[in-house]
Chain A
Protein backbone atom coordinates (compact mmCIF):
# COMPACT_ATOMS: atom_id res chain seq x y z
CA UNK A 1 0.00 0.00 0.00
CA UNK A 2 1.39 3.35 -0.93
CA UNK A 3 1.76 6.32 1.41
CA UNK A 4 0.96 8.86 -1.25
CA UNK A 5 -2.72 9.84 -1.03
CA UNK A 6 -2.65 11.20 -4.57
CA UNK A 7 -1.52 7.83 -5.92
CA UNK A 8 -4.13 6.03 -3.82
CA UNK A 9 -6.82 8.16 -5.42
CA UNK A 10 -5.17 7.95 -8.83
CA UNK A 11 -5.02 11.68 -9.35
CA UNK A 12 -2.33 14.19 -10.10
CA UNK A 13 -0.74 16.32 -7.37
CA UNK A 14 -2.14 19.32 -9.18
CA UNK A 15 -5.70 17.95 -9.33
CA UNK A 16 -8.48 20.33 -8.34
CA UNK A 17 -10.61 19.65 -5.25
CA UNK A 18 -13.40 18.71 -7.66
CA UNK A 19 -11.32 16.16 -9.49
CA UNK A 20 -10.29 14.63 -6.17
CA UNK A 21 -13.91 14.40 -5.11
CA UNK A 22 -14.87 12.72 -8.38
CA UNK A 23 -11.98 10.26 -8.16
CA UNK A 24 -12.91 9.36 -4.61
CA UNK A 25 -16.59 8.82 -5.49
CA UNK A 26 -15.69 6.56 -8.37
CA UNK A 27 -13.37 4.45 -6.23
CA UNK A 28 -15.78 4.40 -3.31
CA UNK A 29 -18.51 3.02 -5.55
CA UNK A 30 -16.18 0.39 -6.86
CA UNK A 31 -14.70 -0.64 -3.50
CA UNK A 32 -17.32 -0.08 -0.85
CA UNK A 33 -17.20 -3.07 1.54
CA UNK A 34 -20.95 -3.43 1.56
CA UNK A 35 -20.87 -4.07 -2.16
CA UNK A 36 -18.21 -6.75 -1.69
CA UNK A 37 -19.05 -8.49 1.56
CA UNK A 38 -16.27 -10.74 2.77
CA UNK A 39 -13.64 -9.31 0.43
CA UNK A 40 -10.91 -8.21 2.86
CA UNK A 41 -8.68 -6.91 0.08
CA UNK A 42 -11.31 -4.55 -1.23
CA UNK A 43 -12.12 -3.42 2.30
CA UNK A 44 -8.47 -2.50 2.94
CA UNK A 45 -8.35 -0.67 -0.34
CA UNK A 46 -11.53 1.18 0.49
CA UNK A 47 -10.08 2.25 3.85
CA UNK A 48 -6.95 3.53 2.18
CA UNK A 49 -9.03 5.46 -0.34
CA UNK A 50 -11.16 6.96 2.42
CA UNK A 51 -8.10 7.96 4.44
CA UNK A 52 -6.55 9.53 1.36
CA UNK A 53 -9.74 11.46 0.68
CA UNK A 54 -9.95 12.62 4.29
CA UNK A 55 -6.54 14.12 3.83
CA UNK A 56 -6.40 15.70 0.39
CA UNK A 57 -10.17 16.09 0.03
CA UNK A 58 -9.96 18.71 2.75
CA UNK A 59 -8.28 21.80 1.30
CA UNK A 60 -6.70 22.83 4.59
CA UNK A 61 -5.34 19.36 5.41
CA UNK A 62 -4.19 19.05 1.82
CA UNK A 63 -2.26 22.30 2.10
CA UNK A 64 -0.57 21.09 5.28
CA UNK A 65 0.23 17.70 3.75
CA UNK A 66 1.69 19.35 0.65
CA UNK A 67 3.76 21.61 2.88
CA UNK A 68 5.04 18.57 4.76
CA UNK A 69 3.48 19.62 8.06
CA UNK A 70 1.50 16.39 8.44
CA UNK A 71 2.22 12.94 7.12
CA UNK A 72 -0.03 10.62 5.09
CA UNK A 73 -1.81 9.40 8.21
CA UNK A 74 -2.62 13.00 9.11
CA UNK A 75 -0.22 13.03 12.03
CA UNK A 76 1.75 16.11 12.91
CA UNK A 77 5.27 15.57 11.67
CA UNK A 78 7.56 15.63 14.69
CA UNK A 79 10.61 17.22 13.23
CA UNK A 80 13.80 17.21 15.14
CA UNK A 81 15.05 20.69 15.93
CA UNK A 82 18.61 20.75 14.71
CA UNK A 83 21.26 22.69 16.52
CA UNK A 84 21.92 25.05 13.62
CA UNK A 85 18.30 26.21 13.75
CA UNK A 86 19.04 27.63 17.19
CA UNK A 87 22.61 28.62 16.54
CA UNK A 88 21.45 30.88 13.74
CA UNK A 89 19.36 32.82 16.23
CA UNK A 90 20.37 34.99 19.14
CA UNK A 91 20.25 32.05 21.53
CA UNK A 92 23.28 30.56 19.81
CA UNK A 93 25.43 33.39 21.11
CA UNK A 94 26.22 31.50 24.28
CA UNK A 95 28.38 29.13 22.24
CA UNK A 96 30.32 31.78 20.39
CA UNK A 97 34.03 31.03 20.56
CA UNK A 98 34.64 34.37 22.26
CA UNK A 99 36.56 37.52 21.58
CA UNK A 100 39.91 35.84 21.09
CA UNK A 101 38.47 34.34 17.96
CA UNK A 102 38.97 35.92 14.57
CA UNK A 103 42.36 37.29 13.86
CA UNK A 104 41.96 39.02 10.55
CA UNK A 105 45.29 40.68 9.99
CA UNK A 106 44.19 42.27 6.79
CA UNK A 107 40.85 43.40 8.19
CA UNK A 108 39.95 47.04 8.01
CA UNK A 109 39.08 49.23 10.96
CA UNK A 110 35.48 49.00 9.85
CA UNK A 111 35.65 45.26 10.27
CA UNK A 112 36.84 45.45 13.86
CA UNK A 113 34.36 48.19 14.51
CA UNK A 114 31.57 45.99 13.23
CA UNK A 115 32.50 42.67 14.76
CA UNK A 116 34.48 43.90 17.74
CA UNK A 117 36.90 41.03 17.75
CA UNK A 118 39.90 43.30 17.98
CA UNK A 119 38.91 45.97 20.41
CA UNK A 120 41.16 48.67 21.71
CA UNK A 121 41.65 51.11 18.88
CA UNK A 122 42.89 50.97 15.34
CA UNK A 123 45.89 49.43 13.71
CA UNK A 124 49.14 49.30 15.64
CA UNK A 125 47.63 48.43 19.01
CA UNK A 126 47.31 44.73 18.40
CA UNK A 127 49.15 43.66 21.51
CA UNK A 128 46.77 45.44 23.89
CA UNK A 129 43.74 43.29 24.45
CA UNK A 130 40.45 44.54 25.81
CA UNK A 131 37.20 42.67 25.69
CA UNK A 132 33.87 42.52 27.37
CA UNK A 133 33.56 39.88 30.09
CA UNK A 134 31.52 36.74 29.58
CA UNK A 135 27.80 36.64 30.18
CA UNK A 136 26.81 34.28 32.96
CA UNK A 137 23.57 32.38 32.70
CA UNK A 138 21.62 31.64 35.81
CA UNK A 139 18.26 30.05 36.43
CA UNK A 140 15.96 30.68 39.39
CA UNK A 141 12.71 29.13 40.50
CA UNK A 142 10.31 31.66 41.92
CA UNK A 143 7.14 31.12 43.92
CA UNK A 144 3.93 32.14 42.22
CA UNK A 145 3.20 34.94 44.67
CA UNK A 146 6.75 36.32 44.54
CA UNK A 147 6.44 36.52 40.78
CA UNK A 148 2.98 38.08 40.95
CA UNK A 149 3.89 40.70 43.54
CA UNK A 150 7.56 41.14 42.75
CA UNK A 151 10.32 40.43 45.24
CA UNK A 152 14.04 40.31 45.83
CA UNK A 153 16.27 37.30 45.83
CA UNK A 154 19.91 36.77 46.71
CA UNK A 155 21.79 34.16 44.74
CA UNK A 156 25.36 33.02 44.56
CA UNK A 157 26.64 33.06 41.02
CA UNK A 158 28.81 30.21 39.71
CA UNK A 159 31.94 32.30 40.28
CA UNK A 160 31.09 32.64 43.98
CA UNK A 161 29.94 36.23 43.78
CA UNK A 162 26.66 36.97 45.55
CA UNK A 163 24.17 39.20 43.79
CA UNK A 164 20.72 40.44 44.60
CA UNK A 165 18.13 39.93 41.91
CA UNK A 166 15.09 42.17 41.82
CA UNK A 167 12.20 40.11 40.52
CA UNK A 168 9.86 42.56 38.83
CA UNK A 169 6.16 42.42 39.62
CA UNK A 170 4.30 40.19 37.16
CA UNK A 171 7.37 38.40 35.78
CA UNK A 172 6.27 35.58 33.48
CA UNK A 173 7.33 31.96 33.48
CA UNK A 174 10.36 31.60 31.21
CA UNK A 175 11.12 35.30 31.13
CA UNK A 176 14.76 36.37 31.10
CA UNK A 177 16.23 39.19 33.18
CA UNK A 178 19.43 40.91 32.15
CA UNK A 179 21.54 42.27 34.98
CA UNK A 180 24.04 44.58 33.36
CA UNK A 181 27.62 44.25 34.49
CA UNK A 182 26.88 41.35 36.84
CA UNK A 183 28.55 38.75 34.64
CA UNK A 184 32.19 37.81 34.30
CA UNK A 185 34.87 40.49 34.70
CA UNK A 186 36.10 42.20 31.56
CA UNK A 187 39.52 41.62 29.99
CA UNK A 188 41.85 44.60 30.07
CA UNK A 189 39.76 47.74 30.02
CA UNK A 190 36.72 45.86 28.74
CA UNK A 191 33.46 46.09 30.68
CA UNK A 192 32.06 43.22 32.72
CA UNK A 193 29.57 40.89 31.03
CA UNK A 194 25.94 40.57 32.03
CA UNK A 195 24.13 38.05 34.16
CA UNK A 196 21.23 36.54 32.24
CA UNK A 197 18.72 35.14 34.66
CA UNK A 198 15.84 33.01 33.40
CA UNK A 199 12.89 32.71 35.72
CA UNK A 200 10.68 29.68 36.22
CA UNK A 201 7.47 30.47 38.05
CA UNK A 202 6.12 27.65 40.21
CA UNK A 203 2.43 26.82 39.92
CA UNK A 204 0.10 27.79 42.76
CA UNK A 205 -2.54 25.41 44.17
CA UNK A 206 -5.21 28.13 44.21
CA UNK A 207 -4.26 30.93 41.85
CA UNK A 208 -4.07 30.36 38.12
CA UNK A 209 -2.62 33.04 35.93
CA UNK A 210 -3.92 34.24 32.58
CA UNK A 211 -1.77 37.15 31.46
CA UNK A 212 -2.18 39.67 34.23
CA UNK A 213 -5.50 38.23 35.35
CA UNK A 214 -5.89 35.68 38.09
CA UNK A 215 -8.44 32.87 38.10
CA UNK A 216 -9.66 31.31 41.33
CA UNK A 217 -12.25 28.62 41.88
CA UNK A 218 -14.31 29.34 44.97
CA UNK A 219 -16.32 26.55 46.60
CA UNK A 220 -19.60 27.72 48.18
CA UNK A 221 -22.35 25.90 50.05
CA UNK A 222 -25.79 25.42 48.61
CA UNK A 223 -27.38 27.83 51.15
CA UNK A 224 -24.87 30.52 50.16
CA UNK A 225 -25.85 29.95 46.54
CA UNK A 226 -29.56 30.14 47.32
CA UNK A 227 -29.57 33.01 49.79
CA UNK A 228 -26.53 34.98 48.69
CA UNK A 229 -23.65 35.71 51.06
CA UNK A 230 -20.66 37.82 51.85
CA UNK A 231 -17.57 35.63 51.59
CA UNK A 232 -13.84 36.10 52.06
CA UNK A 233 -11.94 35.41 48.85
CA UNK A 234 -8.16 34.98 48.69
CA UNK A 235 -6.32 37.32 46.32
CA UNK A 236 -2.60 37.68 45.72
CA UNK A 237 -2.59 40.64 48.11
CA UNK A 238 -4.60 38.89 50.83
CA UNK A 239 -8.25 38.08 51.49
CA UNK A 240 -11.00 40.47 50.39
CA UNK A 241 -14.76 40.37 51.02
CA UNK A 242 -16.98 39.57 48.05
CA UNK A 243 -20.78 39.62 47.89
CA UNK A 244 -22.32 36.64 46.20
CA UNK A 245 -25.75 37.44 44.81
CA UNK A 246 -28.82 35.36 45.53
CA UNK A 247 -29.42 32.35 43.32
CA UNK A 248 -26.08 31.82 41.60
CA UNK A 249 -25.17 28.57 39.87
CA UNK A 250 -21.92 26.64 39.67
CA UNK A 251 -19.67 28.09 37.01
CA UNK A 252 -20.87 31.65 37.64
CA UNK A 253 -17.87 33.95 37.14
CA UNK A 254 -17.39 37.16 39.10
CA UNK A 255 -14.79 39.83 38.64
CA UNK A 256 -12.74 41.54 41.32
CA UNK A 257 -11.50 44.55 39.46
CA UNK A 258 -7.84 45.45 39.90
CA UNK A 259 -7.13 42.46 42.15
CA UNK A 260 -4.98 40.69 39.56
CA UNK A 261 -1.33 41.30 38.75
CA UNK A 262 -0.23 44.88 38.17
CA UNK A 263 -3.71 46.26 37.52
CA UNK A 264 -5.16 43.03 36.10
CA UNK A 265 -8.38 41.55 37.46
CA UNK A 266 -9.16 38.50 39.50
CA UNK A 267 -11.93 36.23 38.25
CA UNK A 268 -13.74 34.06 40.76
CA UNK A 269 -15.54 31.01 39.46
CA UNK A 270 -18.14 29.71 41.88
CA UNK A 271 -18.63 26.02 42.53
CA UNK A 272 -21.46 24.76 44.68
CA UNK A 273 -20.23 21.96 46.92
CA UNK A 274 -22.48 19.70 48.95
CA UNK A 275 -21.32 18.19 52.23
CA UNK A 276 -19.88 14.71 51.98
CA UNK A 277 -22.74 13.30 54.01
CA UNK A 278 -26.24 14.63 53.34
CA UNK A 279 -28.14 14.82 56.63
CA UNK A 280 -31.84 14.19 57.21
CA UNK A 281 -32.72 17.87 57.27
CA UNK A 282 -31.20 18.57 53.92
CA UNK A 283 -32.88 15.55 52.42
CA UNK A 284 -36.28 16.66 53.66
CA UNK A 285 -35.65 20.13 52.38
CA UNK A 286 -34.88 18.80 48.90
CA UNK A 287 -37.81 16.37 48.92
CA UNK A 288 -40.19 19.15 49.97
CA UNK A 289 -38.85 21.40 47.23
CA UNK A 290 -39.15 18.77 44.56
CA UNK A 291 -42.84 18.28 45.31
CA UNK A 292 -43.89 21.71 44.18
CA UNK A 293 -41.04 22.96 41.97
CA UNK A 294 -41.38 22.88 38.21
CA UNK A 295 -37.87 24.08 37.38
CA UNK A 296 -36.12 22.09 34.65
CA UNK A 297 -32.51 23.15 33.96
CA UNK A 298 -32.27 20.82 30.95
CA UNK A 299 -34.86 22.28 28.57
CA UNK A 300 -32.13 24.01 26.60
CA UNK A 301 -30.14 20.81 26.41
CA UNK A 302 -33.06 18.88 24.95
CA UNK A 303 -33.92 21.57 22.46
CA UNK A 304 -30.43 21.53 21.08
CA UNK A 305 -29.99 17.80 20.71
Chain B
Protein backbone atom coordinates (compact mmCIF):
# COMPACT_ATOMS: atom_id res chain seq x y z
CA UNK B 1 0.00 0.00 0.00
CA UNK B 2 1.13 3.51 -0.65
CA UNK B 3 -0.03 6.74 0.91
CA UNK B 4 0.69 10.38 0.19
CA UNK B 5 1.35 13.00 2.87
CA UNK B 6 -2.29 13.93 3.33
CA UNK B 7 -3.41 10.32 3.71
CA UNK B 8 -0.77 9.77 6.38
CA UNK B 9 -1.94 12.83 8.30
CA UNK B 10 -5.50 11.56 7.95
CA UNK B 11 -4.59 8.11 9.24
CA UNK B 12 -2.37 9.20 12.08
CA UNK B 13 -4.41 11.94 13.65
CA UNK B 14 -1.71 12.87 16.10
CA UNK B 15 0.70 14.15 13.47
CA UNK B 16 0.36 17.41 11.58
CA UNK B 17 1.46 17.93 7.99
CA UNK B 18 4.08 20.41 9.12
CA UNK B 19 5.47 17.99 11.67
CA UNK B 20 5.51 15.13 9.17
CA UNK B 21 7.51 17.22 6.73
CA UNK B 22 10.03 18.11 9.41
CA UNK B 23 10.45 14.45 10.32
CA UNK B 24 11.02 13.57 6.66
CA UNK B 25 13.52 16.41 6.25
CA UNK B 26 15.38 15.20 9.34
CA UNK B 27 15.47 11.70 7.84
CA UNK B 28 13.52 10.21 10.74
CA UNK B 29 10.89 9.00 8.30
CA UNK B 30 12.09 7.98 4.85
CA UNK B 31 9.28 7.74 2.30
CA UNK B 32 9.86 6.81 -1.33
CA UNK B 33 10.03 9.73 -3.74
CA UNK B 34 7.71 10.13 -6.68
CA UNK B 35 6.70 12.82 -9.14
CA UNK B 36 3.70 13.57 -6.92
CA UNK B 37 5.69 14.01 -3.72
CA UNK B 38 6.71 11.58 -1.00
CA UNK B 39 4.95 8.20 -0.87
CA UNK B 40 4.72 6.35 2.45
CA UNK B 41 4.04 2.67 3.10
CA UNK B 42 2.97 0.68 6.18
CA UNK B 43 6.47 0.67 7.65
CA UNK B 44 6.69 4.44 7.44
CA UNK B 45 3.25 4.87 8.99
CA UNK B 46 4.14 2.57 11.88
CA UNK B 47 7.25 4.68 12.37
CA UNK B 48 5.24 7.90 12.35
CA UNK B 49 3.08 6.37 15.13
CA UNK B 50 6.21 5.44 17.04
CA UNK B 51 7.48 9.00 16.72
CA UNK B 52 4.13 10.30 18.00
CA UNK B 53 4.38 7.95 21.00
CA UNK B 54 7.92 9.04 21.76
CA UNK B 55 7.30 12.73 21.32
CA UNK B 56 3.76 13.07 22.66
CA UNK B 57 2.94 10.22 25.05
CA UNK B 58 6.42 10.00 26.53
CA UNK B 59 7.17 13.74 26.11
CA UNK B 60 10.68 13.10 24.88
CA UNK B 61 12.53 16.37 24.31
CA UNK B 62 13.17 17.22 20.67
CA UNK B 63 16.95 16.83 20.96
CA UNK B 64 16.60 13.38 22.45
CA UNK B 65 14.48 12.04 19.59
CA UNK B 66 17.28 11.41 17.08
CA UNK B 67 19.38 9.79 19.80
CA UNK B 68 16.62 7.39 20.73
CA UNK B 69 15.83 6.70 17.07
CA UNK B 70 19.43 5.87 16.23
CA UNK B 71 19.63 3.49 19.18
CA UNK B 72 16.37 1.85 18.19
CA UNK B 73 17.54 1.49 14.60
CA UNK B 74 20.80 -0.08 15.72
CA UNK B 75 18.84 -2.46 17.88
CA UNK B 76 16.57 -3.50 15.03
CA UNK B 77 19.46 -3.90 12.63
CA UNK B 78 21.28 -6.10 15.12
CA UNK B 79 18.17 -8.17 15.77
CA UNK B 80 17.72 -8.77 12.05
CA UNK B 81 21.37 -9.72 11.66
CA UNK B 82 21.13 -12.11 14.58
CA UNK B 83 18.04 -13.66 13.09
CA UNK B 84 19.75 -14.07 9.72
CA UNK B 85 22.73 -15.66 11.43
CA UNK B 86 20.43 -18.04 13.27
CA UNK B 87 18.68 -18.89 10.02
CA UNK B 88 22.03 -19.59 8.36
CA UNK B 89 23.02 -21.77 11.28
CA UNK B 90 19.72 -23.58 11.00
CA UNK B 91 20.72 -24.89 7.57
CA UNK B 92 23.76 -26.64 9.08
CA UNK B 93 23.93 -30.28 10.16
CA UNK B 94 22.76 -31.11 13.66
CA UNK B 95 26.26 -31.62 15.12
CA UNK B 96 27.50 -28.27 13.80
CA UNK B 97 24.48 -26.53 15.28
CA UNK B 98 24.97 -28.25 18.61
CA UNK B 99 28.67 -27.32 18.75
CA UNK B 100 27.94 -23.69 17.96
CA UNK B 101 25.13 -23.47 20.51
CA UNK B 102 27.31 -25.00 23.26
CA UNK B 103 30.23 -22.76 22.37
CA UNK B 104 27.96 -19.73 22.28
CA UNK B 105 26.66 -20.40 25.78
CA UNK B 106 30.21 -20.92 27.06
CA UNK B 107 31.47 -17.66 25.61
CA UNK B 108 28.35 -15.72 26.47
CA UNK B 109 28.45 -16.77 30.12
CA UNK B 110 32.19 -16.09 30.29
CA UNK B 111 33.21 -19.67 31.01
CA UNK B 112 35.60 -19.75 28.12
CA UNK B 113 36.94 -16.51 26.66
CA UNK B 114 37.21 -16.52 22.84
CA UNK B 115 40.93 -15.80 23.00
CA UNK B 116 41.34 -18.84 25.22
CA UNK B 117 44.12 -17.53 27.41
CA UNK B 118 45.63 -20.05 29.74
Contacts and interface: CB of A to CB of B under 8 A. Distances in A.
Contacts of B50: 82-83
B43 A200 contact: no
B56 to A, nearest CB: 15
B94 to A, nearest CB: 22
Interface residues of B, number: 29
A91 B33 CA distance: 16
B79 A82 contact: no
B68 interface: no
Contacts of A140: 34-35
A91 B77 CA distance: 11
Contacts, number: 87
A137 B2 CA distance: 13
Contact of A97 (B35, B70, B80): B70
Interface string B29-49: 011111110010111001101
Interface string A55-99: 000000000000000000000000011111111111111111100
A97 B74 CA distance: 6
B83 interface: yes
B76 A84 contact: yes
A94 B24 CA distance: 13
Contacts of B2: 139, 174, 198, 200
Nearest to B78: A102
A155 B114 CA distance: 52
A124 interface: no
B85 interface: yes
A198 to B, nearest CB: 6
A140 B114 CA distance: 50
A86 B46 contact: yes
Contacts of B114: 108
Nearest to A80: B49
B58 interface: no
B65 to A, nearest CB: 14
Interface centre among A89, A93, A94, A101 (most CB of B within 10 A): A94
B76 A174 contact: no
Interface string A149-171: 00000011110000000000000
A218 B81 CA distance: 54
Given A81-B46, A198-B2, A139 B32 contact: yes
Interface of B: 1-2, 30-36, 39, 41-43, 46-47, 49-50, 70, 72-74, 76-77, 79-81, 83, 85, 114
Name the 4 nearest CB pairs between A and B, nearest first.
A137-B32, A139-B39, A87-B76, A139-B34
